[in-house]
């Protein structure tokens, strides 16, 4: 079986950016054999939230490469040039392309690596390959769309799997009920409910707000309850001094702080990224509610300071028992569908890497995003997008992606060079070759 220098789990923006970095760092002496495994059948960036009239929340200059190498073939500007839209894009006078266009850019970048990515395979687990007392390789088990299990060996690993939907506890027993779904599956699921008359959205962030406007504009004109604990929908603060927290050198600052300082920093700036839609979107929603009052109808309700106490599945629909926190009273409401725009968890790597637990301790990473391990564990394992608590709020976004892959790339090249030097001593490597 071939042994790769690196296997990447997931081929979203983070790992595409890494593939580009490795390609651009390639020399005759060092050509990392990297291979990626992606569970979707083809590249797609948050496909079920690809709503019309949505835009990037970050400048296109924070694309996959520009902050690392503005001369790269893979800049957003070169993509526009290749597609013969550069002049027209300039005339748009924006830093914020539509999400459709950015998805097309990412797909264009990903297409350069089609021979280095297995699409339609979901990685199930990562197993240690032991020789005597030392773990020198990793065995990656994945399942393809026909249910066939594949296994691959690698010397190093990078996990870039994004977030997994965060589902409030009272909705967990309803898993499998298609009337309740997370925003990450919105377009796919709402297509099954195009006759729904009454829909609840839980959440106060960008996704909740976008879904509200999408439902408002749908031809079946459903009644929508927008339910949130917050008193108001607050906008994301992207003013310049605040935005400095997304600068690449801020990562050094965050990483160098004590745990206590880091937690305080995350708390202070939490609202730049979470439960914070764009101001324009908030204004649109406010206008919808205002025009309702003008027209004297009550199609939608803005249920602020509300929380869901319990959920009941009844023949006539999904019943939510709601607590009005202002009035301190409970009441129930019936819905044909419930959308959970309740965010994401970033700890999926822990279940994928569970078989490695004895070597990993509590999954702490170093500055280069490499997991700390016991001395008898040789492979380097890097995490992308799961290090917010150690590296700061930019970690789950595109802000530092280009520069982060440079930092990881350097550390990886070192690991690959070390394993090449040891190669002849290792019986597995000697048999398998490269
Ligand atoms: C709707 C939406 C809009 C956003 N807009 C912005 C924005 O404008 N600006 C910004 O900076 N950030 C934005 N974000 C944040 C987002 O996290 C980043 O833009 C970016 O997607 C992070 O890239 P990633 O590769 O780390 O994760 P992802 O894009 O989530 O990619 C992870 C990939 O891993 C794959 N995968 C997961 N598990 C497995 C497995 N077991 N086996 C194989 N493959 C697997 C997934 O299918 C996916 O393709 C947005 C997020 C959402 C949800």
**Which residue segment(s) compose the domain that 12 sits in?**
3-163+346-432
**Dist. CA 41 → ligand 1 center (Å):** 15
pLDDT of 263 over the 70 cut: yes
Percent residues over pLDDT 90 in the chain: 88
pLDDT for the residue numbered 57:
93
21 and 152 both lie in a single domain: yes
Which atom of ligand 1 is least distant from the CA of 16? 25
pLDDT of 434 over the 60 cut: no
Does residue 189 lie in a domain region? yes
**Dist. CA 135 → ligand 1 center (Å):** 30
Which value, in Å, is the radius of gyration of the alpha carbons in the chain?
24
Answer with the one of 306, 340, 374 that is the final residue of a domain: 340
CA 372 from chain centre, in angstroms, equals: 23
Q: Which structure tokens are listed for 13?
A: 């923006």
CA 379/CA 365 separation, integer angstroms:
14
Which atom of ligand 1 is least distant from the CA of 396? 17
Q: What is the mean pLDDT of residues 330-355?
A: 97
Q: Residue 212, CB half-sphere, CA atoms under 13 Å: how many?
A: 32
- The model's pLDDT over 278-333, given as tens digits with 9 standing for 90+, comes to 999 999 999 999 999 999 988 999 999 999 999 999 989 999 999 999 999 999 99
Does residue 18 lie in a domain region? yes
pLDDT for the residue numbered 201:
98
Give the mutation target among 7, 10, 211 for probing the ligand 1 site: most ligand atoms within 8 A of CB. Answer: 10
CA 84/CA 78 separation, integer angstroms:
9
286 and 390 both lie in a single domain: no
pLDDT for the residue numbered 1:
86
Q: Which structure tokens are listed for 281?
A: 């979107």
CA 115/CA 86 separation, integer angstroms:
28
pLDDT for the residue numbered 281:
96
pLDDT of 272 over the 70 cut: yes
44 and 115 both lie in a single domain: yes
Answer with the one of 320, 340, 360 that is the final residue of a domain: 340
29 and 177 both lie in a single domain: no
pLDDT band at 236 (very low <50, low <70, confident <90, very high): confident
Which atom of ligand 1 is least distant from the CA of 397? 11
User: In this structure, which residue's CA is closest to atom 53 in ligand 1?
Assistant: 46
pLDDT for the residue numbered 423:
58
- The model's pLDDT over 177-223, given as tens digits with 9 standing for 90+, comes to 999 999 999 999 999 998 999 999 999 999 999 999 999 999 999 99
The backbone torsions φ and ψ at residue 376, rounded to the nearest 5 degrees and listed phi first, read -85, 10
Q: Residue 62, CB half-sphere, CA atoms under 13 Å: how many?
A: 18
**Dist. CA 89 → ligand 1 center (Å):** 25
Q: What is the mean pLDDT of residues 363-375?
A: 96
Which atom of ligand 1 is least distant from the CA of 207? 1
pLDDT for the residue numbered 275:
86
Does residue 97 lie in a domain region? yes
Answer with the one of 340, 357, 381 that is the final residue of a domain: 340
- The model's pLDDT over 124-173, given as tens digits with 9 standing for 90+, comes to 999 999 998 999 999 999 999 999 999 999 999 999 999 999 999 999 99
User: In this structure, which residue's CA is closest to atom 13 in ligand 1?
Assistant: 397
152 and 87 both lie in a single domain: yes
Mean pLDDT of all residues in the chain? 94
Residue 12: Cβ-neighbour burial (10 angstroms; 0-12, 13-18, 19+) = buried
61 and 142 both lie in a single domain: yes
Which atom of ligand 1 is least distant from the CA of 44? 49
User: In this structure, which residue's CA is closest to atom 3 in ligand 1?
Assistant: 46
Evaluate the CA torsion angle 170, 176, 181, 185 in order and state its sign: positive
**Dist. CA 188 → ligand 1 center (Å):** 17
pLDDT for the residue numbered 207:
97
- Helix (H/G/I), strand (E/B), else coil: 400: coil
Which atom of ligand 1 is least distant from the CA of 210? 1
0.85 exceeded by pTM = yes
Count helices and strands (H / E) in the chain: 15, 17
Do 275 and 234 touch, CB atoms closer than 8 A? Answer: yes
Does residue 330 lie in a domain region? yes
pLDDT band at 422 (very low <50, low <70, confident <90, very high): low
Contacting residues for 33 by C-beta, under 8 A, at least 6 apart: 4, 5, 6, 434
Do 193 and 317 touch, CB atoms closer than 8 A? Answer: no
User: In this structure, which residue's CA is closest to atom 28 in ligand 1?
Assistant: 162
Highest mean pLDDT among 192-196, 271-275, 334-338: 334-338
pLDDT for the residue numbered 419:
75
Which atom of ligand 1 is least distant from the CA of 99? 8
110 and 29 both lie in a single domain: yes
- CA distances (Å), origin 278, targets 99, 177, 210: 14, 31, 10
Do 282 and 209 touch, CB atoms closer than 8 A? Answer: yes
Does residue 420 lie in a domain region? yes
The residue whose two tokens read 């970033």 is 346
Give the mutation target among 11, 12, 106, 404 for probing the ligand 1 site: most ligand atoms within 8 A of CB. Answer: 12
The residue whose two tokens read 């595409």 is 16
Residues pairing with 9 in the sheet: 37, 159
pLDDT for the residue numbered 271:
86
Does residue 242 lie in a domain region? no
**Is residue 430 within a helix (H) or strand (E), and if so which, with residue range?**
helix 427-432
CA 142/CA 123 separation, integer angstroms:
4
CA 184/CA 341 separation, integer angstroms:
8
Does residue 243 lie in a domain region? no
Q: Which structure tokens are listed for 401?
A: 């992606």
Does residue 258 lie in a domain region? no
285 and 398 both lie in a single domain: no
User: In this structure, which residue's CA is closest to atom 25 in ligand 1?
Assistant: 12
Domain tally for the chain? Answer: 2
Do 201 and 176 touch, CB atoms closer than 8 A? Answer: no
Residues pairing with 383 in the sheet: 159
pLDDT for the residue numbered 173:
94
324 and 361 both lie in a single domain: no
pLDDT for the residue numbered 432:
32
293 and 384 both lie in a single domain: no
Do 3 and 427 touch, CB atoms closer than 8 A? Answer: no
300 and 171 both lie in a single domain: yes
61 and 136 both lie in a single domain: yes
Enumerate residues lining ligand 1, CB below 6 A.
9-15, 37-40, 45-46, 49, 56-58, 122-123, 160-162, 207, 384-385, 396-399
CATH number of the domain enclosing 216: 3.50.50.60
């Amino acid at each position: 079986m071939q042994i790769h220098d690196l296997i990447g789990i997931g081929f979203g923006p983070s790992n595409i950016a890494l593939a580009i970095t490795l390609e651009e760092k390639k020399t005759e002496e060092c050509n990392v054999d990297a291979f990626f495994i992606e569970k979707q059948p083809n590249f797609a960036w948050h496909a079920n939230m690809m709503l019309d009239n949505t835009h990037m929340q970050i400048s296109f200059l924070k694309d996959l490469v520009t902050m690392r190498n503005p001369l790269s073939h893979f800049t957003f500007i070169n993509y526009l040039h290749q597609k013969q839209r550069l002049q027209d894009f300039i005339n748009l006078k924006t830093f914020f392309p539509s999400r459709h266009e950015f998805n097309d850019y990412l797909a264009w970048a990903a297409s350069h690596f089609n021979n280095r990515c297995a699409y339609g395979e979901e990685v199930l687990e990562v197993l240690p390959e032991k020789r005597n007392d030392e773990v020198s390789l990793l065995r990656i088990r994945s399942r393809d769309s026909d249910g066939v299990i594949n296994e691959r060996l690698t010397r190093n690993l990078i996990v870039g799997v994004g977030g997994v939907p965060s589902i409030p506890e009272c909705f967990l027993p309803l898993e499998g009920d298609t009337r309740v779904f997370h925003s990450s599956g919105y377009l796919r699921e709402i297509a099954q409910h195009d006759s729904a008359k009454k829909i609840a959205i839980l959440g106060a962030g960008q996704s909740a707000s976008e879904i509200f406007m999408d439902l408002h504009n749908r031809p079946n004109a459903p009644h929508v309850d927008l339910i949130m604990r917050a008193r108001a929908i607050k906008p994301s603060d992207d003013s310049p001094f605040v935005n400095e927290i997304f600068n690449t050198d801020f990562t050094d600052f965050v990483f160098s702080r004590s745990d206590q300082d880091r937690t305080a920093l995350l708390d202070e700036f939490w609202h730049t990224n979470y439960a914070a839609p764009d101001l324009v979107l908030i204004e649109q929603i406010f206008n919808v509610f205002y025009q309702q009052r003008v027209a004297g109808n009550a199609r939608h309700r803005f249920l602020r300071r509300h929380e869901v106490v319990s959920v009941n599945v009844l023949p006539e629909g999904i019943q939510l028992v709601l607590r009005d926190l202002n009035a301190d009273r409970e009441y129930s409401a019936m819905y044909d569908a419930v959308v959970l725009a309740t965010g994401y968890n970033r700890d999926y790597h822990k279940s994928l890497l569970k078989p490695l637990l004895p070597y990993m301790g509590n999954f702490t990473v170093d500055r280069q995003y490499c997991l700390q391990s016991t001395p008898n564990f040789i492979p380097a394992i890097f995490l992308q997008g799961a290090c917010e608590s150690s590296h700061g709020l930019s970690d789950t976004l595109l802000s530092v992606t280009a520069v982060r892959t440079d930092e990881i790339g350097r550390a990886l090249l070192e690991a690959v060079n070390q394993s090449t030097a040891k190669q002849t001593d290792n019986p597995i490597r000697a048999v398998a070759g490269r």
